[in-house]
Structure 1
Amino acid sequence: MSEIYLTVLLLLTLFVLLGSGVWVAFSLFGVGIFGMALFTDAPVGSVLATTVWGSSNSWALAALPLFIWMGEILFRSRLSQDMFSGLSPWVGKIPGKLLHVNIIGCGIFAAVSGSSAATAATIGKMSIPELSKRGYPESLMIGTLAGSATLGLLIPPSIILIVYGVATEQSIARLFIAGVIPGLLLVALFIGFVVVWALFNKDKLPDVIEQLSFREKIRRTRSLLPVIFLISGVIGSIYLGIASPTDAAAVGVVLALLLSWCTGGLTRESFMEGLMGATKTSCMIAFILAGAAFLTVAMGFTGIPKLLALWIGSLELSPYALLAALTVFFVVLGCFLDGISVVVLTTSVIMPMVEQAGIDPLWFGIYIVIVVEMSQITPPVGFNLFVLQSLTGRNILTVAKAALPFFALLLFALGIIIAVPELVTYLPNNM
């Protein structure tokens, strides 16, 4: 049981550092140094230098700042307004009406952003004033945004899937493809929930429906063409085998700059703001990844992952029991850390257990992203809740209560992919 005591000691050290306000990356470095210095004879300095350089010098990691920059460019463009005007004529007669714009709009923006917080902020800024003005219920307005914005973590190009792929040496292109069907499943569940709610609460929705001719609907839909063009350019180039995820990210940046310039949203100020925003975010993530890589190597020197894997194996837990325990663990951890930190913090210890249980690492990548999505809408550190709190001016508990049904839907989706894993593995195994 010595490995258990050692693991508990290192985890306590980590939580003490995080609870003291130490940056996540420094906390990871600190725990790794502490573990190696106390329990191994390895040269800490040499291992630290080699690991940090090796984790940073990764071609796959180059896609990360490019996709983040693409999202920053689009965040400052007219894309969200164009999406609202292009989608709204077609959803007015569906139960739930314009609430579906939040869901579909988040799904579309997720496919060109890759960030949950950016999706919530961009679509929220556009839809909250419009829906409030038209008298839509605030709780469902906030809830659809909170839940649907999490699609930014799953629908490719997903920043967190890139991080997972780099941390676990999985194919990023296959992870992107694996996220498509689960992403569409979540969109369908969210739309279905709104439709059912609207059918039982007709009196709480506005009666006004904008009457438009078919020609006018088609005219407004043309504003979606730039978005479709961008998604086709980025995702299509990956799925058709024309470009790697890194090459496709560069294509996305060029297309985003071109679209922003064509719509009049590209100025010197917006360009520099987007570039600096992407630089800061990318540096933060790269720093955390370097710390996580060092902690992974340090854990390897101490032998903890192997010993834990053997211990888990000796318990003879079924894969379902292990996944149930990990779900609770990830949701609790996500209450205190952002999604990327959760992934890089846990992979070094969790993956040996997962492989020991015979769980496909590719499938597990989608599983962990959905669980992290759930943590994005749980207090006290649900990033989407913070974004919507700032947009609506409501307190965090009000926003969290509105997001609760969508937390339940994410949990239901998790159960579906556990019961039918082919929903995740079919596309990457057949393309």
Structure 2
Amino acid sequence: MERELVGVLGVAAMIVLMFLRIPVAVALLAVGWIGVAVLRSDRAADAVLKSDPFSMVLNFDLTTIPSFMLMGYITYAAGFTRELYDTARIWFARTAGGLAAASTLGCAAFAAVSGSSLATAAAMGKIAVPEMLRRGYDKGLATGVVAASGTLGSLIPPSVLMILYAVFTEQSIAVLFIAGIVPGVLSAGIYIAMVLTRARLDPSLAPGMAEPTSWGEKLSSLKGTWAILILFVLVMGGIMAGFFTAMEAGAIGAAGAFLIALLAGRLTLERLRSAFLDTLRQTASIFAIIFGALVFTRFMALSGLGQYLAELAASVSDHATPVILALSVIYIILGTFMGPIEIMLITLPIITPVMDGYGVSLVWFGIIMIKYLEIGLITPPLGFNVFVISSVVGREVPITTIFRGVLWFLAMDVLTLGLLIAFPAITLFLPDAYVAWTSYLRTEDIGALEAVGRWLSGG
């Protein structure tokens, strides 16, 4: 049997196991081990199982995952998320659709300290959806805007998906983070523009508040944004200025969130315990999937399926654009029945050689892939974020209504994705500037060291 065929059968087996609801980590591990055993031997499969997961644990880049997640959970436990939403609500209150716009802004800001789409949707869903329903908002819009805006947790840095992508494709986490800033802001801006336009055309969808808000109230509300703003500037500003690495930024961000919450008198032992437990649960789940993905990745490498597909794609088209458009359809379909981490770790060993073959920037494609995964989070019938919001609102809003509400946001996601594919500079101009800046800093540091060396040697 040709090794590429064994790879295809392995991918098919993975899809079948997903439909049978086998835990993803177990499915990845089982298919990967059997695949290596078929292509090599049982002893080789055992060797991969013993060595690869443990060698990955020694990759310190992965420490950024629990660090950034802890930062987000502490921020939420301390109540800073609620204050952030309240600030946005006060500023947009009298505008038709203002609460929905405030919800998007709140999700975007919380995404800047959480790193998780599901956590963002869950946190903002508990705060924003009841407020919009109480104000007479259309139920589909009230739930759909938070379900869709929650996906910004994957695109706006820091992002768990970006960390995993960077580790598995050997890219810089810092560069991926910086590449996500403009696409994340663009996505949020397009959501807000669509919501405000719809509300202006049909005020019954999203009525504005009748009571006026003074400039004094608006300015006073800004004090509720200081904690999130400090953390974002500390983490992303420190990375972009070259003061510390992304790995160090995770630790600094978590420590910063702890100190800010402590000094603000917001951190009780119970809240801290809750933040740590939530971080441990999420981290354990992610690392279990990573272990299985490593064995599956080794199987894919041995099968040569990725290289075969790269050669096949090159024979079909000299340009990457048709392949990327085809991948758009494939990823959106996968998103209807699989979670984003699972999709990424299963497909990366297959897709990365194809992108390499076309000379596509893996930083740019990483942002495109995350946008694909965002769309999958709100695409029926699975739509993880939709089910998160459904669990928050209970029977008050049928899940069919929530899916109806996200359709407009899906259309906006397709628009954003088209812009990012058509104009790669939207994604790449900031990371390119960052790389140039850090190269300049290294040159200056080397020059200073050489000058010190000459002085010490009497030259």
Q: What TM-score do you get using the length of structure 1 for normalisation? A: 0.96
How far residue 4 of structure 1 moved from its aligned partner, in angstroms, is: 5.3
Q: 1:299 matched to which residue of 2?
A: 300
Structure 2 runs not aligned, ≥5 long: 435-459
Moved more, 249-258 or 87-96: 87-96
Residue type of the partner of 1:407?
A: L
1:198 aligned counterpart, secondary structure: helix
The answer to whether structure 1 residue 412 and structure 2 residue 415 are counterparts is yes
Give the stretch that moved more between structures: 381-390 or 370-379. 381-390
Counterpart-to-counterpart distance in 2, 1:172 and 1:187: 22
SS of corresponding position for 1:202: coil
Whether the aligned pair in 1 keeps the contact of 2:94 and 2:208 (CA below 8 Å) is no
Residue number in structure 2 paired with 1:37:
37
Superposition pairs for residues 31-430 of structure 1, below 5 Å? Answer: 31-41=31-41, 43-316=44-317, 318-393=319-394, 394-430=397-433
- Rounded Cα–Cα distance in structure 1 between residues aligned with 2:48 and 2:391: 43
Asked if structure 1 preserves the Cα contact closer than 8 Å seen for 2:93 and 2:208, the reply is no
In the superposition, relative to structure 1, how do residues 204 and 408 fare at CA in structure 2: closer, same or farther (>3 Å)? closer
Determine if contact 2:118/2:150 at 8 Å carries over to the other structure: yes
My pick for the range that moved more, 156-165 or 89-98, is: 89-98
**Partner-residue secondary structure (3-state), 1:13:** helix
Equivalent residues of 2:129, 2:146 under 8 A apart: no
Does 92-101 or 271-280 show the bigger shift?
92-101
Q: Give the AA of the match of 2:20.
A: S
RMSD: 1.7
> Is contact 1:39–1:302 with CA below 8 Å preserved after alignment?
yes
Q: 1:203 to 1:330 in 2, by over 3 A?
A: closer
Q: Deviations over 1:89-132 (max 9, x none)?
A: 22134442222110111110010111111111111111122222
Query: How far 1:348 moved relative to its partner?
Result: 0.5
Please list every run of 5 or more consecutive structure 1 residues that lacks an aligned counterpart in the other structure: none
Q: Which whole-Å CA distance do the structure 2 matches of 1:214 and 1:305 have between them?
A: 58
Q: Within 2, Cα distance between the matches of 1:263 and 1:388?
A: 30
Q: Which moved more, 1:3-12 or 1:167-176?
A: 3-12
Q: Please say which structure displays the higher CA radius of gyration.
A: 2
Classify the secondary structure of the residue corresponding to 1:400: helix
* TM-fit CA distance, 1:207: 4.8
C-alpha distance in 1 between matches for 2:89 and 2:386: 25
Instruction: State the percentage of identical aligned residues.
Output: 33
Change (3 A) 1:203 1:47: closer
What amino acid is the match of 1:180? Answer: I
Large movers: runs of 4+ above 4 Å: 1-4
Number of aligned positions between the proteins:
431
**Cα distance, 1:187 vs. partner?**
1.1
Please give the alpha-carbon distance, in whole angstroms, between the structure 1 residues aligned to 2:143 and 2:317: 43
The letter of the residue matching 1:23 is P
Comparing 5-14 and 354-363, the one that deviates more = 5-14
- For 1:315 and 1:212, how far apart are their aligned partners in 2? 60
Output the CA distance in 2 between the equivalents of 1:204 and 1:101: 15
Conservation of the 8 A alpha-carbon contact between 1:3 and 1:307: no
Contact 1:33 1:44 in 2 (8 A): yes
Deviation at 1:361, TM superposition (A): 0.6
The one-letter amino acid paired with 2:173 is I
Q: Secondary structure at the residue paired with 1:337?
A: coil
Q: 194-203 or 310-319, which moves further after superposition?
A: 310-319
Letter in 1 for 2:421: I
The SS at the match of 2:38 is: helix
Change (3 A) 1:320 1:134: same
Letter in 1 for 2:413: L
- TM-superposed CA distance for 1:284, in Å, is 1.3
CA positional deviation for 1:213: 2.5
Distance 2:193 2:3 in 1: 47
- Structure 2 Cα separation of the partners of residues 35 and 330 of structure 1: 24
Work out the CA distance in 1 between the residues paired with 2:4 and 2:96.
Answer: 53
CA distance in 2, matches of 1:213, 1:13: 61
